[in-house]
Amino acid sequence: MKYLFFLFTFFFGKAQQNPLPLNTWMENIPSGGYVKDLDNELSPYVGNYKAVYQGNEIILFVTKEENRSTKRGGKKFYRDALVIKYIAKNQNNQVLQDTQNVNNPNLYI
């Protein structure tokens, strides 16, 4: 019975890696690792921002996405990221570009 318990624990037990801070170098991120916003460094940037320049208006929608799958430098890992979507309007309030409904997983910071 002990042998069966050991096998069950060995094969089905999940060892969790400790999350890494945002400023971790790419070389130090293991494949499958999680780069987490441990100190809430990204939270102050979340929100809606509006700017007007020469009559043109742009509205930014900044959100924080946690545990986002990322592939860089031949490694696949997870990280917290800021996702920015926007609406750009001309002087006549005509929408030039709107990315609010775009679900491109490569649009993040």
Give per-residue pLDDT as tens, 44-101: 999 999 999 999 999 999 999 999 999 988 899 999 999 999 999 999 999 999 999 8
Give domain status of residue 37, yes or no: yes
Confidence (pLDDT) at 102: 83
Task: Give the separation between CA 99 and CA 68, rounded to whole angstroms.
Answer: 19
Give domain status of residue 4, yes or no: no
Entry pTM: 0.74
Please name the residue that has the structure tokens 């929608």: 61
Give domain status of residue 11, yes or no: no
Give domain status of residue 82, yes or no: yes
Q: Is 15 left (phi over 0), alpha (psi -120 to 50) or beta?
A: beta
Confidence (pLDDT) at 105: 62
Give domain status of residue 91, yes or no: yes
Give domain status of residue 105, yes or no: no
**What tokens does 29 get?**
């991120």
Q: Which domain holds residue 84?
A: 16-98
Which amino acid belongs to residue 15? Answer: A
Q: Is the pLDDT of residue 26 over 80?
A: yes
Task: Give how many domains the chain has, as a whole number.
Answer: 1
Confidence (pLDDT) at 5: 56
Q: Is the pLDDT of residue 12 over 80?
A: no
Calculate mean pLDDT across residues 29-58.
95
Give domain status of residue 106, yes or no: no
Residue 42 per-residue DSSP state: S
Give domain status of residue 109, yes or no: no
